[in-house]
Structures are given as C-alpha cells and as structure tokens.
Amino acid sequence: MAGSMALRRFVEKGRKIVGVGLNYRQLAKEFNMSLPNEPLIFLKPTSCYLEEGNGALIRAPPGCKGLYYEVELGIVIGKKGFKIPAASAMDHGGGYALALDMTSVDLLLPLQKIGHPWAIAKAFDTALPIGKFIDKAEIPDPHNLRMWLELNGELKQDANTSDFVFKVPEMISHITRYMTLDEGDLILTGSPPNIHPVNEGDVITCGIGDKYKMAFDVGPHL
C-alpha cells in the first residue's frame, strides 16, 4: 500500500515516458503495415504531462495543422529494474493510468520520410493528457480492457487490449534491455485504430471500460 501511495504522484516522480508504437493488430491492418518483430520504442519528456482540472487545455505545437488523438493504456512502473525477464516483469508494474498520446501527424510524417528524428511531433507541451493513478489490484488483467474515445460525443476509438501485438511483460522486458525503468516511469502501450484530427473547441472524452474516464478540451496553439 505504501508503494501505491507514493505512485499516486507518478507524474512528478517519474523520470521518463516510454512509448510503444504500432502495438494493436487492427491499427497495423488499418494502415496496411506489417506487424513489428519487436516493440517500436520512442520517448516523450515528462513536460508533456497534462492533468485534468484548472482549465487544462490540449494545445497543438506551433505550425501544426494536423493534431491527432491516440487513447492508450499507461503502465506505471512501481519498482526500478534493468534487464527484467518477461517472466517477472509484472512484479515491476505498480499500476496503470489512462493516457492520450497527442501527435502532430503533419509534422511527424515528413520527418519520418526523410529519416530525421520526429520527437517534436510527440514531445510538445500538453502532448500527454493523463488520468489518475490506478492501483494494479484494480486491474487484474491489463490484456482484456476496453479502450474507447469519443470526440464531441461521437465514438471514434473502441478496442480491446487483447489486440496488443506485445503484452505488458514483453514490453517491459524489451525496454529494459536498453534502459533502466525507474519507479514512477510510464510506458504507453500503443493506440487502437481510428485515429482522427482534432480542432480548437473540440472535446475529447476517453476511458478504460466504464470505470475510468477523463475529458479534455482542445485549445489554441501553443
């Protein structure tokens, strides 16, 4: 219980956010892409975090003309580890969080095409709206969760984590082959299909099943 209490402020305690891309089979199918042979990893800084309340607004980066949402299950690391075997990886999970991986697709695609780093498309301030910490005891099976998102009240994303290409232990084990995961760090487990752009004034509501949800308004550019 003491560990769980400490993790309730993982947004302040964690040192990094590790994203796993293309981790839903249906997303790969939607984009006519082959499934990856190993988790596709990218990083977001903790300055991306945006918590609900106090007029929090999602804001696109300068020059962005295509800001897209991606609802994701976040894994909050509860115990530091390096080169963690998949068999014991779940012992290092402290809990979960509902997350939105906001992406400036119009900035990302040209950079990807020429092989340049594309961090700016995912690393801007407000690029990670985040929900409250969920103790791992409340989610006994992270591989059977409904993930959904509504835009202005219209259902857009609706999938189940059973569609993961790589399960949570595989993600943790792979990431820690290369970097230490610290207590409070967050892993983003990938987006379901049906990703669409948002505009100023839109309202994004998303959730994990019926129990956990959050809502954010889209504001003007940074």
pLDDT in tens, the chain (222 residues): 555 777 999 999 999 999 999 999 999 999 899 999 999 999 999 999 999 988 899 999 998 999 999 999 999 999 999 999 999 999 999 999 999 999 999 888 887 788 887 888 999 999 999 999 999 999 999 999 999 999 999 999 999 999 999 999 999 999 999 999 999 999 999 999 999 999 999 999 999 999 999 999 999 998
Sheet (strand 103-104) strand order: 103-104, 67-68, 197-198
Q: Phi-psi category of 15—alpha, beta or left, where left has phi over 0 and alpha has psi -120 to 50?
A: alpha
H/E element, 25: helix 25-30
What is the pTM (predicted TM-score) of this model?
A: 0.95
**Can you read off the two tokens belonging to residue 73?**
């299950």
Residue 163's domain comprises: 2-218
How many domains does the chain divide into?
A: 1
Q: Taking Cα atoms as reference points, which of 90, 77, 83, 39 lies closest to residue 177?
A: 83
Q: What is the CATH number of the domain that holds 148?
A: 3.90.850.10
Q: Taking Cα atoms as reference points, which of 135, 76, 129 lies closest to residue 103?
A: 129
